[in-house]
Structure formats: structure tokens, C-alpha cells
Structure 1
Amino acid sequence: MESTPEWIDTSLVAQGAAHARVSAGLIAPFVTRGAFIATFTNRYAALPMTITGALSGTRAAHRVNETTAFFAVTTLPGALDRFGAGFEAAAMVRLMHSMVRFNALCRSTRWSVDVYGVPVPQIDQLPAGMIAPYLAALRVLRSGRTEFDRSDRAMVEFCRYRCYLLGLPEELLPVTPQGIVDMFYARAATLRAGFDDDCRRLVESTMDAYLRPSETLLDRAADAVEKSYSKLAFCRAFSNGQSRKARHMGVAVGVADYARIALTAPFIAGRVLVVMVALRVPVLRGSLNRYLVRSVERRLDTYGVPAYTTDLRDYSDR
């Protein structure tokens, strides 16, 4: 982890972190679990988490907040430096995921090498780590371009470096839009297809989890709004916008969810738009960066202090 490879352009990492800070502070809190449960739409990718039992019952909220805290803390200034909080968190996450896969391979009765092969944590961490570059790559290619602009390029390099710290090799971290899309499709093509009851239980327990730190009226309202956005994000991303298919997968989007989104979208989207435009004004950039740092730090206070641990004694089929 200390030996930054030559294929990482470190001059762009800090700029990319600043770009990602907008999402971490202003957008991610409203789609937290919708993005998190991407892993659970495939029974192979979901199986290590099923074995640990870490996303069942009350433990679901803790694990979701831990994951969200990791991605948020890495966007803070200097977080990915050698002794930064993001670098240390990456080391802990990397070790935890490796421990989970080791125990799944060597001590679980449910993991079949003949069926699933060897569980590789880097493959499972890839979607979450490179989802932002993937979406940017799709946007670029659909516009008829073949290269990222400088802003997107910085964001991509930040994500590539963060994934490198998690253990991903250069082969899984392409730098061009077409390369990123091809890599995502290649990963999907190698997964054994299937959505089973374990997947549905993981999706449902994650969606049902209460992520706020208290039971005040404000926190309950914030939790309800975040769940509505997460449901819609899941429906659009994993069921092609089909609410019936999403319901079969454990996510029911109702009238109340659309009402909450309609009421809050002008504020949420408007704030992001104002910040993105204002960041282009040099005289405002410093103040806005400080505002975004404070926003991320407040989110981290809400998520709690992550432990990034796994304990074999808690596994469901030990």
C-alpha cells in the first residue's frame, strides 16, 4: 500500500477527492443503502456476506454505516496520504474483506469451490469502488466522446487510487471510458447468475435497517426520506425501473416514497446544482470546500465510529 505505482497519476488524486466530496456530503446520504445493496443482487457476490450474518437483523445498520463511512472519510483532504484516516481505513477494510473470504473458503460449509471458484475480495469490492467512474464512462460514451474531460479524469484517478489501496490490480482499474465499461461487463459475464432467497433477505434487511443515531422526529423523517430515495435508486439501477420486479427482489416503492421525493428533490438537487456551479468561481471555491468538508464530517458523526472487523464466531454456518 505504501508503494504507489507509476500507473496512478497522484497529481490528480486530491482534485478527484474534492470532486467526490460533493457526492459524499450532499448526495450519498440519500442513496446510501440503494447503492450498498448492489452486491446482493447476485447470489455469488452476496454469499460471503450471507455466511457472516453481518447483514441480518440489527447488524445490518451497523454494516451499512461502516461502508458509507469508509467512502466518505476517503474524500477528506489528505485522507489517502500514508498516515491519513482514509489510508488507515482502507488497510482495515482490505484485511476485513480478506478475512471474510478466507473463512468462507476454508471454514464454511456453504462455499463450494466447484460452483463458485475461489472467493476474491478485490472482485467483490470492484463495483462499489468504481461505480462513479462507470457511470461517468457511460455518460461520456453516450455523448459520442471517447475520452474523459479533466474533471472526470481526476475523479476516476481518485477512485482508481482508492481501489488500489483496497488491493485491486491495474488490470481491474482501466483509465479510459470504454475500458471501464468493458471491465464492468466482463465482471458481470463471469458471475454465475441467480437471485435467491438469501439475496432477497439481505436486500430486505438492508432496506429495513434504521441508520439514524436517534429516534427524534427529525431523524425518523430523515430516515424515511433516505429510504425512499434508496428504493428509487435500486429500482432504476437493478430492475430497469420496473416496480413489480423490484418488489419481487425485496424493494417495494410506493406512493408515499414518490411523495417524499417530490417534496424534497427541489432542495436536494438545487443545493447540489448551486454548489457545482459555484465551485467554478475561484473566489468562492475556498469557502465551498470548507463547507463540503464540514458536511462530510457531520455525516461521519452520524455514521458512528467504524470498527471494520469480522468475527468467525458470529458466522451463520460456523
Structure 2
Amino acid sequence: MAQRAPILTDERVVELISTATMLGGTVADPFAALMARHSVTSLVGMVRQACREGVEAVPDAPPELVAFIAAMEAAPQWLDMELVHKGARQARVDAALLSPFITRGAFIATFTNTYAALPMALTGALSGRRAARRVNETANFFAVTTLPGALDRYGPGFEAAAMVRLMHSMVRYNALERSDRWDPEIYGVPVPQVDQMPAGMIGLYLLAIRIRRAGRTEFTRSERALVEFARYRCFLLGLPEELLPTTAEGIIAVFHARAALLRDGFDDATCGGLIRSTMAAYLRAGESRFDRIADSVEKSYSTAGFVLAFCRGNRHVARRMGVSIGVLDLVRIALTAPFIIGRVLAVTGANRIPMLRPAVDRYLTRLVKRRLAAYGNPEFVSDAKMYTPIAH
């Protein structure tokens, strides 16, 4: 995808990635550290109440909570909420019609490197049934943020972002303070800012690659809305502006810089185990024949998406990582693609027609809410009691 040597000679980029690799949540971490005196339930309740009613509604709100919420409320100077709303409307198409079929594949992409995967391996969050819960929580977050007004101050996406931030901070606190299995000299900081960036910006990276291949350098007005939406969502998650470029080339550069500075390694016990447990997880709420068929179809699409997007179509590379695509997967995709892809294209086209846009948006909003009901209520917590040993 890029030459590594030129990236390593760019002192500014190396400094940026190195710094972001050692940074956690500068305002959420102190609040999570209150676990030394407060229960997780109490801290979660404080954050939820502060998001829904304002921090002044929280009795005896600790200063750490006040600073946490204030940092999220402090809108950056570059923010254009009108563009954010337009970008969310566009993102609703994928959240409603496409994301349910690719989220698992995108999720396991974070496990293809031993060092980036270690925090999840340590927490034990992807063993047994918890694998399904974590995938659904991830899908829930990205879906809820696309709802109308979700990223407004009192919107459900704002609260979801605060909860994800708190969860990441809990992982850091538990790993560094309550576990003897995490060695900072070897592993650094758990869930650093630089490792959060790809999840929030992967859509923009793929868009930027398409723009480059088309011979363009600038985003269109429509694409610009998607950029603003994704950047603001990442801001609410605590990422610094330096990791959120505004140009296609800048987005590509920061992604490639992270990859160039990430130590190579794929340990089957860590990465392979996480990938296998995630692919084996059953994500549906019901056990009906339809649910079983839908689960198998989703797994086929997630597998294909992983092979194409993260293994460059090389099935042998994917197989070595624990992901195999077979004949049945291809048959399921062939049988369902006309409906799934056809619906995406039809809705995307209708969404461009001003007269049809309101009706299309109401349809997509209803569908996203149905997806959220299927994903279940996210917990967004990290329990140190469930952490597992990891090998050095």
C-alpha cells in the first residue's frame, strides 16, 4: 500500500504517531481511576445522567466528571454541525443496509497484529458469548451515531461516545493498576489514541483511496459531509485533531504512518484466537430458522469483506490468519447479492432526489432503529475480574 522507508524519515509524522501511541484518554482516564473509590455501576450511572441531564444534575459530581463532560461539550473551531447532520444522513444508508453484513469482518481486522490486539486479549472480552456482545456493542455504537441529531449535545450518539471513552479508560486503568499481566515496558499504554483512530476513520481511508485511484485530490461537497461527520464522532471519542486530517492525502498518510510504525507480529494464540472466537460467535437474538440462515449469510459477507479489504483478496493470507472462505460462502453471497447490493444502490439513488429524500430518510431511520433493537442494549464496561493471562 505504501513504501515504509520514506515515512520513517519524516520526523513530524514519526513524532505524531509515537506520541499518540503513548497517549490514553487525558480527561476520561482520571474519571475511570475513581474506580479505586467508586463502583463501576456508580461511575457509569454518573456519565449517563450527565449526558442526559447535564453534569449539574449529578449529585456531588466529582471534578473529574465535570472535566470529562466539559471536554466533550467544547466544540472544536472547525466544527460545522450542518455538515455533520448531512454526513450522518448519508452514513445511515450503510448503517441500515450494509454494515450488518460487514461489521464482524471489520471488527476482526483489529486483531491482525499481536500488539494492537493485546488489550482485547487481556480483557477476555472475546471468549464465548462475550464475543457476540462486543461485536454487537461495536455495531450499536456506529449505528446509533447515524440517527438524526444523535451527535447533538443531548443526543444518543453523544452519550454512546462518552460510554465508549469510559470503557477504554476502564481497560487502561484495570490493565495498569489491577492486573499483573500487563507490562508497560513491553506493551506501552493499553488502547492508545493511535489505535482508536483506524476504527473511527476506516471509512474515510477507503474513500480517500478511491479518490486517489480516480485521479482526484479533493472531496466533493457530499464527501466533505461524511468527512465532517466521521471527524466529529472521533473528536467525541477523544481523538486529537492531529489524527483527524481533512484531506484525502492526509487521511491516507496518517493511516500508512501508523502501519509503518506498528511492530510486525501475528501470534496465533492471541490474534488467531480472537479471530476464531469472533467468527464463531452467533450474533442473532433469536434461534429461528430465519435467524440461523441470516447468521450464516452475514458470516459469509463478513468473511468476504475481510478477505477483500484486509488481505487484498488473497485467500491464502486470510486462511493463515484463521479466516477461510469456502464454496458455500460464495453461494450465499451470489444468491443474496442481487437483493442486498441492489437495495443499497436503489436507496442511494433515491436519496439523491430531493423529492424522495425525506421518505427515504424516514425508511432508513426506522431500519437503523430495528438494527439497534437487534444488537441489544450495550453495556460499554470492562470488568477486571474477567481479564485473562497473556504470554510475553
TM-score class, shorter-chain normalisation, is over 0.9
Give the Cα separation in 2 of the matches to 1:101 and 1:184.
Answer: 23
Choose the corresponding residue for 1:54, options 118, 125, 132. Answer: 125
Choose the corresponding residue for 2:152, options 57, 81, 105. Answer: 81
Give the Cα separation in 2 of the matches to 1:248 and 1:194.
Answer: 13
Could you say which residue in structure 2 is the equivalent of 1:239?
311
Give the Cα separation in 2 of the matches to 1:252 and 1:89.
Answer: 33
Give the Cα separation in 1 of the matches to 2:260 and 2:363.
Answer: 42
TM-score normalized by the length of structure 2: 0.79
Q: Return the offset for 1:108.
A: 3.2
Could you say which residue in structure 1 is the equivalent of 2:321?
249
What secondary structure is seen at the aligned counterpart in 2 of 1:283? coil
Residue 282 of structure 2 corresponds to residue 210 of structure 1: yes
What secondary structure is seen at the aligned counterpart in 2 of 1:148? coil
Give the Cα separation in 2 of the matches to 1:193 and 1:11.
Answer: 41
What secondary structure is seen at the aligned counterpart in 1 of 2:284? coil
Would the alpha carbon gap of residues 314 and 120 (structure 1) be closer, same or farther in structure 2, given more than 3 Å must change?
closer
Q: Does the aligned pair in 2 maintain the 1:52–1:315 contact within 8 Å?
A: yes
Write the deviation string for residues 14-46 of structure 1: whole angstroms up to 9, x where unpaired: 000001000000000111200111110111111
Give the Cα separation in 2 of the matches to 1:206 and 1:235.
Answer: 15
Give the Cα separation in 2 of the matches to 1:49 and 1:233.
Answer: 22
Choose the corresponding residue for 2:252, options 177, 181, 193. Answer: 181
The letter for the 2-side match of 1:174 is: P
Could you say which residue in structure 1 is the equivalent of 2:333?
261
Choose the corresponding residue for 1:309, options 357, 381, 390. Answer: 381
Give the Cα separation in 2 of the matches to 1:151 and 1:195.
Answer: 38
Q: Return the offset for 1:317.
A: 3.4
Q: Return the offset for 1:287.
A: 0.3
Q: Return the offset for 1:66.
A: 0.6
The letter for the 2-side match of 1:182 is: A
Q: Return the offset for 1:112.
A: 2.9
Could you say which residue in structure 2 is the equivalent of 1:294?
366
Residue 222 of structure 2 corresponds to residue 151 of structure 1: yes
What secondary structure is seen at the aligned counterpart in 2 of 1:221? helix
The letter for the 2-side match of 1:131 is: I
Choose the corresponding residue for 1:142, options 195, 213, 224. Answer: 213
Give the Cα separation in 2 of the matches to 1:103 and 1:188.
Answer: 27
The 4+ residue runs of structure 1 with deviation greater than 4 A are: none
Q: Does the aligned pair in 2 maintain the 1:138–1:181 contact within 8 Å?
A: yes
Alignment of 1:117-132 (within 5 A): 117-132=188-203
Residue 180 of structure 2 corresponds to residue 109 of structure 1: yes
Deviates more, 1:147-156 or 1:236-245: 236-245
Write the deviation string for residues 110-137 of structure 1: whole angstroms up to 9, x where unpaired: 4332333223432222111001111111
Q: Return the offset for 1:236.
A: 1.2
What secondary structure is seen at the aligned counterpart in 1 of 2:380? coil
The letter for the 1-side match of 2:343 is: R
Could you say which residue in structure 2 is the equivalent of 1:71?
142
Q: Does the aligned pair in 2 maintain the 1:116–1:192 contact within 8 Å?
A: no
Q: Does the aligned pair in 1 maintain the 2:126–2:277 contact within 8 Å?
A: yes
Give the number of aligned pairs: 318
Could you say which residue in structure 2 is the equivalent of 1:200?
272
The letter for the 1-side match of 2:106 is: A
Report which structure shows greater RCO (CA 8 Å, sep ≥6).
1
The letter for the 1-side match of 2:295 is: D
Q: Return the offset for 1:204.
A: 0.5
How big is the alpha-carbon RMSD for the aligned residues of Structure 1 and Structure 2? 1.2
Q: Return the offset for 1:105.
A: 2.9
Q: Does the aligned pair in 1 maintain the 2:178–2:384 contact within 8 Å?
A: no
Could you say which residue in structure 1 is the equivalent of 2:24?
none
The letter for the 1-side match of 2:234 is: C
